[in-house]
Amino acid sequence: MSKVVNRFLEYIKVETTSDPKSGLHPSTPTQLDFAKKLAEELKAIGLSDVSGDNKAYIMATLPSNIDAKVPVVGFVAHVDTSSDFSGKGVNPQFVENYDGGKIVLNAGKGIELDPEVFPELLKYEGQTLITTDGNTLLGADDKAGLAEIVTAMEYLVQHPEIKHGEIKVGFTPDEEIGEGADFFDVQKFGADFAYTLDGGEIGELEFENFNAAFAKVKINGRIVHPGFAKNKMKSSMLVAQEFLNMLPANEIPQHTEGYEGFFHLMEISGKVEETNMEFIVRDHNHDLFEKRKALVKSIVDHLNLRYGDGTVELDMKDQYYNMLEKIKPVMYVVDIAKEAMEACGIKPKIKAIRGGTDGARLSYMGLPCPNVFTGGHNFHGKYEFVPVESMEKAVEVVLKIVENVQQVK
């Protein structure tokens, strides 16, 4: 197997699920342990200025081997995997020379990858796929990105005949819970621009993403014996139902695509006395994003007017913004990656991210940072898979980006 595959298989053995509720940085200790191992690996392959901290941020440098002054390029990936599905005990399966049919992930549980449900499978007939065993996610988001960056850097160290300017590598924790850039020191990193390797299928190149907010809604009810409840009981669960009914029914993830935004109820729990809900609010357009947040606030005001002050409590915070505003002035950064893909025989798929990456926040912190594919599909669940050939192409693209940076004037 190729080096990038071997690395990937080693990385996914390590459970690094982030935890949105821990309040710690990093949110789980396993991320810090894994980050320390990555730092040692970066030293072992020959990178310099390798540094890590107690929050699981890793940075390293591959020095320039040319005399000319060219921009410093960075490559960024994250060490955590999503808490949406278990990342512990990942047991990958190989499907060689995929024939276009169903792939049995777990016969005992009847779990399979069916091209009728996942038609993107058919793009990879004849290739080798790495899948889950149906019990965990795979971890290509973003351990494929980690493996691809480290493999590309090792190749450059071993092939000094390939000329390049200074290159920076940065690995972050807690991207999956929106905290990946919280303690990222852009000045210390020292790159003029960078690329996150955190995208999906081969060819993806993204420099637009959602504007994002997170909302906690707490509804306070009043419990009274149901036999004597008339004009006294206030069911927080029924108020929550009214809240949900006042949101646009079709503006939810399963009914939206492309540039369409949404409200997503992520979690709900309650009794008569108290109900708690957690939402994410998303839109690419900033004005529509603000209108979505305003709608949430207006629903809260309406219900408090109807049921009494303090019935509904709202805690809503912005998480990140659309990087497009920061990328537009430096579109040559996108062109470098686009031309790199084309040189590697890949047709770029330029599209807006229906989500976010560390690159969105880093762009607002002064580090323009588009997103490049890793090759993975169906992230965050048991149907996740990644074609080996896509991972190998991602390594080629990193190497070609490094080469293209020298053409920037």
Distance of CA 14 to the CA centre of its chain: 18
Q: Is the peptide bond before 20 cis (omega within 30 degrees of 0)?
A: no
The residue written with tokens 């810090």 in the block is: 32
CA dihedral (17, 144, 116, 256) in degrees, to 10, reads: 70
Cα 358 to Cα 369: distance, rounded to the nearest angstrom? 8
| Active site annotation includes 175 | yes
Cα 371 to Cα 361: distance, rounded to the nearest angstrom? 12
What amino acid is encoded at 380 in this protein? H
Cβ pair 72, 165 in contact under 8 A: yes
Provide the phi-psi class of 193: left if phi over 0, else alpha when psi is between -120 and 50, else beta.
Answer: beta
Distance of CA 132 to the CA centre of its chain: 19
Cα 59 to Cα 171: distance, rounded to the nearest angstrom? 7
Structure tokens belonging to residue 25: 């940085």
Indicate which residue of 15, 41, 80, 283 is catalytic: 80
Element (DSSP H or E) covering residue 289:
helix 286-307
Let me know how many helices (H) and strands (E) the chain has, helices first: 10, 17
| Beta carbons within 8 Å of 43's beta carbon, 6+ residues apart | 50, 60
Structure tokens belonging to residue 77: 């990936």
| Active site annotation includes 335 | no
Structure tokens belonging to residue 110: 């009847």
Indicate which residue of 175, 206, 251, 384 is catalytic: 175
Cβ pair 337, 349 in contact under 8 A: no
Cβ pair 147, 391 in contact under 8 A: yes
Cα 385 to Cα 388: distance, rounded to the nearest angstrom? 10
CA dihedral (121, 127, 133, 137) in degrees, to 10, reads: -70
For the annotated catalytic residues, the residue numbers are 80, 175
